[in-house]
Amino acid sequence: MTTSTAPPAPHNRPSPHSSPAPHGRLGPAPARWLALCLLSTASTGASLLLPTALGRTLDLLLAREPATRWVLSCAALVLLLALLDAAETVLGGTVTARTTSWLRRRLTGHVLAVGPRATARFGPGDLVARLVGNAAQAGTAPAARAALLAALAGPVGAVVALGLISPWLAAVFLAGAPVLALLLRAFARDTRECVTRYQEVQGRIAQALSEAVGGHRTIRAAGTEDRETARVLRPLPELSAAGHRMWRVQGRAAGQSVAIAPLLQLGVVAVAGVLLARHRVTVGEVLAASRYALLATGVGVLVGQLAGLARARAATGRLDEVLAEPPVGYGTRRLPPGPGRLELRGVTALRGGRAVLDGVDLVVPGGTTLAVVGRSGAGKSLLAAVAGRLADPDSGEVLLDGVPLRELTHDEVRGAIGYAFERPALLGGTLEEEIGLGLPSPSPARVRRAARTARADDFVRRLPHGYDTLVADAPRSGGESQRLGLARAFAHGGRLLVLDDALSSLDTVTEARIAEALVGDGTHGTRLLVAHRAATAARADAVAWLDGGRVRAVGPHAELWRTAEYRAVFGEGGEAADRDASNRGPT
């Protein structure tokens, strides 16, 4: 192991797996949205035709003239309105469901592409709240926009119809229209503020609940269930206040509109009565005018549509905050043939404004095993993450066989580097599928060979369905879960194998056998091993001793053991209960 020269400038090419910019406003199916707009508009058009048809029918009946054709026309319009309403309901539900599904897929893919940074910024509970609740609300946006378009077309068409009957009728309504417009504008603004606040508080409650669920054993052991319940629900008064304010805003807008709309309707009807007395309009036109006045002042419908759209837009804004986080960038290069030589040049990585790794220079020759040791907080797990490009350094460069990891394609990086963690994520398939996770077509023989190397084959075969057992149906200890994670890493292979505290839950005999297999058979490429036991470090070809984010020394374990401070790293019993909290995230 040697140190290296100064780092080149880092690269940051866009990732082919990155999510696109925040979503388009028409959703994933613009054709369906346009069809929904056409249905809504057609329904509005039919509603506007009906008063004219009713008025004409009334005039014909009063004049004792044949009105069969107009009666049938009225019946046809009523039937058409019912059919259009049913079709609009079905299509609106379909558009909402497809949009919600599309948003959830995009958000999930983007969060996974961003990686631990997304969890660090938003928290897992808040992310779940956005993925579940906010995505469902944002999914209603296309249908809400179509409904709002129709709701606006109704009053506009009604005013035009009033003008066609008599310009005086349209003038009466337009005299009070600015007041209604100001009310609706204020309502839309206040509603969005209330809804945004409400959704933010929901996210905080979800985050607190996620933390409590993750620490349920600690909470139960401490007997603090009541205190944790109170902590999770502490924002409830804020949530209640935001909800009450939202309903007050909507109620005030509805009340104000109800106070103004009847005056406008009364004004239109009064003027129509005067015009009727002067024989300038017919009785049927008075009937039509009263219906159009009702449509033109349909503020209650607009209030409801604006409230729905405000909730959808507020939720969309919360999704866009996540989608604005840049994903990990990848390059276009591929690895040349090589033994898996790993090199860190001037690597510095910050967490919370603190340099957890500070100018690390390190070279691991291909085919060798390097153990990384150090006290808690020394930066071991972050170094392992940087070495396998689960995190990028803030400055410096990491190279594999001479190629910077940032310049490699996504598939090249993930195909060349295998990982095992202290708490491996077993995602719900069969045990065979979990061990072969990430491989394009893992063979049963490869999976079983890896399980034998990880000393997992025996306990898997004892299960009723062996390797076909579902993870949820496989009772296992922490050590057995860790062995499954090791088997996954061994099945993956690759040029570089990174074991981030992946032996910590194993008994000493099993750990010794696995460590011996790692070092002895030479089939696992280059190995980077975060070690907590002196016996494990002793089996490695060399040890990198981290102290305060820097490499204090690199050499054989036996040589470093002569230093009292190095021996103190392992503590009593040859172990150091280390956990680099600054980099610990989902694995």
Shared domain check, 274 and 388: no
pTM: 0.73
Residue 432 in domain: yes
Residue 10 in domain: no
Cross-sheet strand order for the sheet of 369-374: 417-421, 496-500, 526-530, 369-374, 542-547, 550-555
- Identify the residue whose tokens are 């054989």: 556
Shared domain check, 420 and 275: no
Q: What's the pLDDT at 490?
A: 87
Shared domain check, 186 and 141: yes
Shared domain check, 438 and 507: yes
Residues 6+ apart with CB under 8 A from 425: 586, 587
Structural element, H or E, at residue 360 = strand 354-364
Q: Which two tokens stand for residue 279?
A: 């024989």
Q: Which two tokens stand for residue 268?
A: 């239109």
Residue 8 in domain: no
Q: What's the pLDDT at 546?
A: 93
Residue 587 in domain: no
Domain containing residue 115: CATH number: 1.20.1560.10
Measured CA to CA, the distance from residue 340 to residue 369 in angstroms comes to: 11
Shared domain check, 266 and 132: yes
DSSP H helical ranges for 297-397? 299-323, 380-387
CB atoms within 10 A of CB 322: 22
Residues 6+ apart with CB under 8 A from 461: none
Residue 204 in domain: yes
* Range(s) of the domain holding residue 369: 342-574
CB atoms within 10 A of CB 114: 22
Residue 226 in domain: yes
Residue 184 in domain: yes
Residues 6+ apart with CB under 8 A from 541: 368, 369, 370, 519, 556
pLDDT in tens, the chain (587 residues): 544 333 333 344 444 444 333 344 556 778 888 888 889 889 989 999 999 999 999 989 888 888 899 999 999 999 999 999 999 889 988 999 999 999 999 999 999 888 878 888 888 888 888 988 899 889 988 888 888 888 788 888 888 998 999 999 888 878 877 776 777 677 767 777 788 888 888 888 888 888 888 787 778 787 888 888 888 889 888 888 888 887 777 777 666 666 677 777 888 888 888 988 888 989 999 999 888 888 877 665 676 677 788 888 888 888 999 999 898 889 999 999 989 999 999 999 988 778 899 999 999 999 899 999 998 888 898 999 999 998 899 999 999 999 999 999 998 998 899 888 888 888 778 888 888 888 877 788 888 988 888 888 888 988 888 989 888 888 888 788 888 888 888 888 789 999 887 777 777 777 777 777 776 655 558 999 998 888 888 888 999 999 988 999 999 999 999 999 999 998 744 444 343 433 333 34
Shared domain check, 139 and 231: yes
Measured CA to CA, the distance from residue 166 to residue 163 in angstroms comes to: 5
| Total tally of structural domains belonging to the chain | 2
Structural element, H or E, at residue 120 = helix 116-122
Shared domain check, 371 and 310: no
Give the CA radius of gyration of the chain.
Answer: 34
CA quadruple 305, 51, 162, 172: dihedral positive or negative?
negative
Shared domain check, 395 and 272: no
C-alpha dist (Å) from residue 46 to 50, 75, 148, 154, 227: 6, 12, 17, 10, 59
CA quadruple 408, 410, 414, 416: dihedral positive or negative?
negative
Residue (of 465, 337, 345, 357) closest to 401 by Cα position:
337
Q: Which two tokens stand for residue 349?
A: 């990585």
Helix axis angle, 299-323 to 167-214, nearest 10°: 40
Domain containing residue 423: CATH number: 3.40.50.300
Shared domain check, 538 and 428: yes
Residue (of 573, 431, 418) closest to 502 by Cα position:
418
- Identify the residue whose tokens are 């999770």: 232
Residue 405 in domain: yes
Q: What's the pLDDT at 244?
A: 85
Shared domain check, 353 and 223: no
Residue (of 271, 336, 302, 33) closest to 150 by Cα position:
302
Shared domain check, 178 and 52: yes
Shared domain check, 346 and 300: no
